[in-house]
Amino acid sequence: MSALAPLQSAFQRRILDGGADTKILDGIVGNAIASADARVGVYVHAYAARLVEALGNEFLTLHFAAGDDAFAAMCHAYVTATPSVHRNVRWYGRGLAGFLQATAPWKDSPAFAELARLDWMIGVAFDAADEACIGEADITAIPFERWGEMTLRLPSHVRFAEFAWNVGDVRRAHDSGRPCPALRRMQSPRRWIVSRRNLEVHYRELEADEAAALQAIADGRPFAAMCEALCDWHPQEEVALRAAGLLKAWIGNGWIAAVALPD
């Protein structure tokens, strides 16, 4: 076996464990300018620094709210605790929200995990695969008496989540160049939706009835079940009009990728 492979493996272990594995030092020559440990340390530091930089590019709202020092501390802790398993660094931050939610001291400030979750939703929506979406003609082609049976599919760029903190206000302040508002827990959780149209990501708070209706769609339930969900907010005689209005708006937003009827 070539001596190069064991050397490469030792070098990789040294970088990935943050410098604890010393075996690679046996294969590195130091000099008066830098010891073997210092030379390898350059790569150990650079690897972690690049991951932190990638997180900074992804989690703009979290960085904005936490500030430079606190955000750097979060990222360095995450890098130390979370070896990368992705060839594409784009996906490295997938677990940051969960890490902040479970790890002291950040778990005592749950807004940070929610900010990270919103940032991740925005990034995933932007990177989602392009999908053709239906138009109003696709719905009108379905006999009205069968509307209750139809199922709708959301495209992959549409993401929604519930937030207990004012993360949407923070993101809007970031995007408009205003000072960051104080983080505060709202009286009741709010549902937010993130989507992409062309190359622009859009996000907004959902009304409670719209959130319930969208959840029914995401769960694969038929249009009739979506209308039943709306009955919790509207008199029965108004549900059909509200459902039709929501459907028209969703189609216009590019939120419906497909419509189907059971065989």
Residues sharing a CB contact under 8 Å with residue 212, sequence separation 6 or more, in sequence order: 229, 230, 232, 233
Per cent of the chain over pLDDT 90 is 72
Residue 213 vs residues 17, 219, 242: alpha-carbon distances, Å: 47, 10, 10
Per residue in 113-169, pLDDT tens?
999 999 999 999 999 988 889 999 999 999 989 999 999 999 999 999 999 999 999
Give the domain ranges of the chain: 131-263
pLDDT confidence tier of residue 87, bands split at 50, 70 and 90: confident
Would you say 184 and 191 are in contact if contact means Cβ atoms under 8 Å apart?
no
- What pLDDT is attached to residue 40? 64
Per residue in 157-202, pLDDT tens?
999 999 999 999 999 999 999 999 999 999 999 999 999 988 899 9
**Partner residues linked to 259 by β-bridges:** 152
pLDDT at residue 31 greater than cutoff 90: no
The top-level CATH class assigned to 131-263 is: alpha beta
- What pLDDT is attached to residue 28? 65
